[in-house]
Amino acid sequence: MRGSEKFLAPSLRHLMGTDNFGRDIFSRVLKGAGSTLRIALGTVAIGAVLGTAIGALTGYFGGAVDEAFMRLNDAITAFPSMLLALVFISILGSGSLNVILALGIVFIPSFARVTRTAFASLRDANYVKSARLMGAGSGRILFVHMLPNTLQVLLPAVTIGFNNAVLAEASMSYLGIGSMSSLGYMLSDAQGVITSAPWYAMGTGLVIVLLIFGVGLIGEGLNRGEWEEGV
């Protein structure tokens, strides 16, 4: 960081140029991508684990509990997710841990819905009936027999959820709520100098795009390909 090196264009010395304080943007992007990644992974972990558990239980057992949870799901989905996350942040307070919690809660319904559909369609499959006849308990049937067979639906859903979480985190920090070192905050910083130093926004944006594109490709690869062969 040098005061004399403000807004330098990309070069071999500074791969993505420098910002308004003469800081190397590439280093900042590496650090920012790390914190964005941490928050996105935390968000997806909360959403996927709780969403899968709720979706599995309601999809398998059905009945009144299923109806109640799905209506609750509808109610939560009806709110714009960003707005809901902002409400949670205003209740919990800011900070990256609270952003993970808020976004995680907002992500639960989408996972629950996907999981519920997968489990409901397998509820009457022959191997589930056989397991039931053999005396297997519900927990065993749900998580040992059925869960591995829903992975082909759940894994692509996790990758899509991860991408949404990266975007949501970037939007939150763009608004000044999330982590101060994350990519969204850098983007809002870069916005003011987009005409004089376009590399600031471009470098930051490029990393977000590549991160989402890479995980999107993994999701697409999981969605087709491997699962269709030899089953």
Partner 1 sequence: MRKRQMNGFLKAGLILTGVLLAMIALGFFLDTL
Residue ranges in contact with partner 1 by CB under 8 A? 27, 30-31, 33-34, 37, 207, 210-211, 213-222, 224-226, 229-231
DSSP 24-43: BHHHHHHHHHHHHHHHHHHH
For partner 1, the closer CB: 32 or 55? 32
Dist. CA 184–CA 65, nearest whole Å: 39
218's CB contacts (< 8 A; 6+ apart) are 159
Q: Least separation, in Å, of the C-beta of 157 and partner 1?
A: 16
- Give the whole-angstrom CA distance, residue 221 versus residue 93: 38
Name the token pair of 170.
């970037």
Could you tell me the smallest distance in angstroms from the CB atom of residue 27 to partner 1?
Answer: 7
Tell me whether residue 109 or residue 161 sits nearer to partner 1 (CB atom): 161
136: phi then psi, degrees, rounded to nearest 5: -70, 145
CB of 170 to partner 1, least distance (A): 15
Which CB atom, from 33 or from 114, has the smaller least distance to partner 1?
33
- For 47, counting Cβ atoms within 10 Å of its Cβ (0-12 exposed, 13-18 middle, 19+ buried), the class is buried
* Least Å from the CB of residue 108 to partner 1: 25
* CB closer to partner 1 out of 104 and 219: 219
CB closer to partner 1 out of 44 and 108 = 44
CB of 226 to partner 1, least distance (A): 6
Q: Cβ 99 to partner 1, closest distance in Å? A: 19
DSSP string for 140-205: HIIIIIIHHHHHHHHHHHHHHHHHHHHHHHHHHHHTT-S-TTSHHHHHHHHHTTTTT-HHHHHHHH
Q: Which is nearer to partner 1, 84 or 170 (CB)?
A: 170
